[in-house]
Amino acid sequence: MSQALVSKEVLENTLAQAMTLGGEFAEVFVEDRVTSSAVLDQRRIEELSSGRDRGAGIRVVVGDTTGFAHTADLSENGLLSAARAAAAVAREGGRGVREIALGPLSDNPARATMLPSEVDKARKIELLRHADDVARSQGSSITQVQVALGDSSRRFVVANSEGVYAADHQIRTRFNISCVATGDTGMQTGYRPIAGTKGFELLSELAVEEAARGAAQQAITKLDARPAPSGDWPVVLAGGSGGILFHEACGHGLEADAILKHASVYADKVGQQVASPLVTLVDDGTVQGEWGYLAIDDEGRPSARNVLIEDGVLTDYMWDYLRSRKEGRGSSGNGRRQSYQHLPMVRMTNTYLLEGTSDASEIIAQTPRGVYVAQLGGGQVNTATGDFVFGMTAAFLIEDGKITSPLRDCNLIGNGPEVLQRVDAVANDFSMMPGTCGKDGQQVPVGTGQATMRLTSVTIGGTAS
C-alpha cells in the first residue's frame, strides 16, 4: 500500500530534510480517502455523490513548538517543500545531514468482506427505498422519511524520525434513517443509525428493517408525549444510549491535552476515587467492527485498550505522541486527526463503561419514580468544571417501577464528576452506539457504550410543573 502512495525512499528523504533543518522530531502522514454517499428524501434521490482526497501532512517539532504543513502534491519535490515549510515554522537554522532509516512497513489490511466500492449504486438505492417503505408501513402518521447511506475507504501511511513506519486501510459504512410523525399534538421525530468499521456486509436486510421500524415507532410514540418534569429526578439510562453522556461529561476531561493544561477537573487525580465503585471506564480502540475501531492511530501507534477509571478510581489518562513525549511515557494510541490537512491530537476511540451484574428490568422495577432515557441527543460540556447539558430525544416516565408515559424532548443537566458518583446500579445488557466527536474543529468517528444504569439524581430541564 505504501508504494501506491509514497515510496519508502521518498519518506526517508522527506524526514531527513525536516531534521536537517532543525527538527527534533518529524513525521509524514500520507492519506488517500475515497467516499460515497446517497440520500433518499421523501422518496426522491436528493444526493448521489462520491469523492477522493489525497495528500500529506508534515509535522516538525522543536521543543514546545510544532510546525505543520500539508500538500496535495505527493511528488518528492512537493513533500520536500512541505517539510521545509514545516521546519521553518518550528525553527530556523541547520543541523547538518540527518539520515533517517525506516524499518519494515507494519501494514494493516482492510477489515471488510464486502467493499462498499464494489457494490452497485442501484443496489444501494434499492436498500434506501426498502427502508423508506418499511418506515412508512408502521402507520399513516409517518409523513416524512429521510434515509442516508455513506461509506469511506481511508488508506494512510505514517512515518517518523523515530523509525515508525506503519499503514492502515479503514473501511467504514454508515446508514441513518430519520422519520417524522404528524398528529394532533404536532410533529415528532425518530432516528436510528447503523454504523461500523466494516464493509457493506454491515447492512443486512434485517438490520436495516429494524432500524427503519425503530425510527418510525419512536416518532409515533412521541405523538402521545407529555411535557417532561423539571427538577432533580432519578434517571435510568438505557443500554447504549447513555454512553455519549460519559464520553462528553468525563471522557474529554481525561484527554492528556486538557490534563496538562490543568483545564480538566480530573487533573492530578490519578489514584483518587472519582466515581462510584460500580464505574469502570475504558477507552478501547481495539474493539473490531465498532465505529471507533483502529488498528493503529494516526501517529502509527498500535491501538490499545486503556482503563481510565477502575472500580471508581482514576487510573490513567489518554495520550497522544506529543503529550506522552513531554511526560516521558508511551502513547496510549489516542493520536487522531480528521485528515492529512489536520494536526493529530489526543482523542477518544470507543469509550464505554463495563457492564455490571444487575438485570435491567429489575433496575427499573426498583425505581418507584424517575425518568427512563431511551436515547440521548447532542450535548455540551465544560471540561474545566464538568458541567454538561444533553438533549433527551426519547424519554419516558417511570412510575411505580414501570415505564409509562413518553416525554417530550427535554434536557438532562448535571456535572460529570457528580454523575459518576451517583451511579448506584449497573445492568448486564451492554451495547454500543456510533457517534461523531468534534474537538478543535476536527471531526472523528467514535463509539460509546454502557449497560442500563441508574443515576440517583440528575436535573431534568422539562416544562411540566
Do 284 and 357 belong to one domain? yes
Interval 39-58 mean pLDDT: 96
Q: CB under 8 Å to 70, separation ≥6 — which residues?
A: 55, 56, 57, 58, 82, 340, 341
If you ran DSSP here, which 8-state letter would residue 318 be given? B
Are 152 and 239 part of one and the same domain?
Answer: no
Q: Do 372 and 240 share a structural domain?
A: yes
Kindly state whether residues 297 and 316 are assigned to the same domain: yes
What digits encode the pLDDT tens for the residues 9-34?
Answer: 999 999 999 999 889 999 999 999 99
Number of domains in the chain: 2
Same-domain pairing of 112 and 238: no
User: Which one of 224, 243, 262 terminates a domain?
Assistant: 224
- Relative to beta strand 442-450, strand 431-439 is antiparallel
218, 190 Cβ separation under 8 angstroms = yes
Q: Clarify whether residues 176 and 37 are in a common domain.
A: yes
Q: What is the rounded distance in angstroms from the CA atom of residue 435 to the CA atom of residue 242? A: 12
Kindly state whether residues 293 and 402 are assigned to the same domain: yes
Q: What is the mean pLDDT of residues 122-149?
A: 97
Average pLDDT over residues 65-83: 95
pLDDT given for residue 99 in this prediction = 57
Domain end (from 224, 242, 262): 224
pLDDT tens sequence across 250-303: 999 999 999 999 999 999 999 999 999 999 999 999 999 999 999 999 999 999
Contact 161, 201 (CB under 8 A): no
Within this chain, do residues 190 and 305 fall inside the same structural domain, yes or no?
no
Pick the last residue of a domain from 224, 245, 270: 224
Beta bridge partners of 150: 37, 174
Q: Say yes or no: 254 and 138 in one domain.
A: no
> What's the predicted TM-score (pTM) here?
0.93
One domain, residues 201 and 349: no
Are 299 and 344 a contacting pair, CB within 8 Å? yes
Q: What is the structure's pLDDT at 111?
A: 87
Amino acid at 286: T
pLDDT confidence tier of residue 423, bands split at 50, 70 and 90? very high
Could you read off the pLDDT of 313-353 as tens digits, one per residue? 999 999 999 899 889 999 999 999 999 999 999 999 999 99
User: Residue 326 — φ and ψ, nearest 5°?
Assistant: -65, -35
> Is the separation of the CB atoms in 74 and 54 below 8 Å?
yes
Residue 105 neighbours by CB distance under 10 Å: 14
pLDDT of residue 96: 47
Does 330 share its domain with 196?
no
The cell numbers describing 453, all together, are 444504569
Which grid coordinates belong to 81? 517543500
For the segment 214-231, the average pLDDT, to the nearest whole number, is: 95
Domain enclosing residue 332, as ranges: 230-461
How far apart (Å, rounded) are the C-alpha atoms in residues 131 and 233? 37
CATH (domain of 92): 3.30.2290.10
For residues 380 and 118, which has the higher predicted lDDT (pLDDT)?
Answer: 118
The answer on 257 and 176 residing in a single domain is no
pLDDT of 2 strictly over 50: no
E strand or H helix at 188, and its extent? strand 186-196
